[in-house]
Amino acid sequence: MNTPEINPQRRQFLKSLGIGAGLAALPAISRADDPPPSRPAQAKYMGGFAAPKLETVRIACIGVGARGSGHAAQLAEIEGVKIVAICDLAEGRAKRSAQGVSAKGHKPTVYFGEADAWRKMLATEKPDAVIIATPWELHASMCVESMKAGAHAFSEVPIAFTIKELWEIVDTSESTGRHCMMMENVNYGREELLYLNMVRQGVIGEILHGEAAYIHELRGQMENGDSTGSWRTFHYARRNGNLYPTHGLGPVAQYMNLCRTEDQFRRLTSFSSPAKGRALYAAKSQKLSNPEFKTLDYQGGDINTSIVKTVLGRTIMIQWDETSPRPYSRHNLIQGTKGTLAGFPNRMAIEGVTKSHHEWAENAAWEAIAAKYEHPLFKRMGEVAQKMGGHGGMDFLMLFRMIECLRNGEPLDQNVYESCAWSAVGPLSEQSVKEDGAPQDFPDFTRGNWKTTPALAIVT
């Protein structure tokens, strides 16, 4: 059997976290109905928070695998950025990323090799902002420690995967006065920005329902050596729910203005299908990067479907499937009293605008309508973003906006409460599946302050 060896340092690091036999170190799921912690003394609500302007944003990157190295390379191209440090467990990755940004005029200090090298980096470099692109189980602690060190924290998705961790992130952000944002890049896709603009202008009337998904067949990651599959596979084996909800949910939540003045998450119920695909794939593969994948007891259903009800009674269907052999989709559907906007493929049905209630406006008809409502941010930066790349330009546009907000002293497009609410679908769905679909109440990470938080403006 051809079994590419995981980097020995990384293998030992994963074992130290419990990512392997037994998975003992992964945090237990905490319930959403545990009493919410009171707001810490001297803490302040961060909805609509704007940090002092930073003329130059000094950035440190933790984790520069495929995702993190892409962030570093694109940030290095943005005006007003100075990349001061690169950290990764693997020396080769850290040095390659540092060389790439050095060629663009940056001079990062490189940290690697030790599990706590990132802590040394925070203490030594004192960055303004930290980009976190590490395995899921590290996101929460790295966000918390980055904020405590005085930096704004920007994490890959999900920002955490237990309710306890999510509360810790909120409390730390409120206590330190530092941003903590989950980098949900899909909010910056052309179609997602377009639909946000159309919803804000009332084109489809009062919002009633949304559909969100991350359907992406990724079984091949089990064969990719020291990569995402080397640690995600153990999550698929142990956990049963929606482990990756935010790509579809983030845009829909912004259409609905959830966690802000209009509406809030209320309750979720969730079911998973039988778990079949991962074990079947592992049994047939001759190229698994870890032979243990053949013997794992895969508990996570191949597809999870969750239904959310909001305070206003709106509904959202959220699906997750990284196993089944089916085409990629995020659904990206938002339905109102006057029409529906949808993705995969892009299509619209708008009362009084499209020709028939029994036929979607697609292709040229869709583009003709879209031309009237193109989002101002995409008009301004879309062409540049698409040239820079990263999921069709949405990665670069997200990073550009993060830096623009920090330099201008403006609120971020996504606040800490949205980041935590979107990520909370993970543990809530796991608990609901465990309880045969029993409803789970969302924690209100804003502690009731969402009603005072301004809606996300259409950025010009």
**Nearest partner of 67 among 383, 418, 399, 423, judged by Cα:** 399
Task: In whole angstroms, give the CA distance from residue 437 to residue 280.
Answer: 26
pLDDT for position 113 = 95
**Residue 65 CA to its chain's centroid (Å):** 17
Task: In whole angstroms, give the CA distance from residue 83 to residue 65.
Answer: 17
Q: Could you say which residues of the chain have pLDDT below 70? A: 1-35
Task: In whole angstroms, give the CA distance from residue 456 to residue 139.
Answer: 25
Type of residue found at 427: P
Superfamily of domain 52-182: NAD(P)-binding Rossmann-like Domain (3.40.50.720)
The CATH number of 187-378+415-452 is 3.30.360.10
CB-CB contact of 370 with 343 (8 Å): no
pLDDT for position 6 = 46
pLDDT for position 40 = 82
Structural domain boundaries in the chain: 52-182, 187-378+415-452
pLDDT for position 22 = 38
| Residue 103 CB neighbour total at 10 angstroms | 10
Report pTM. 0.94
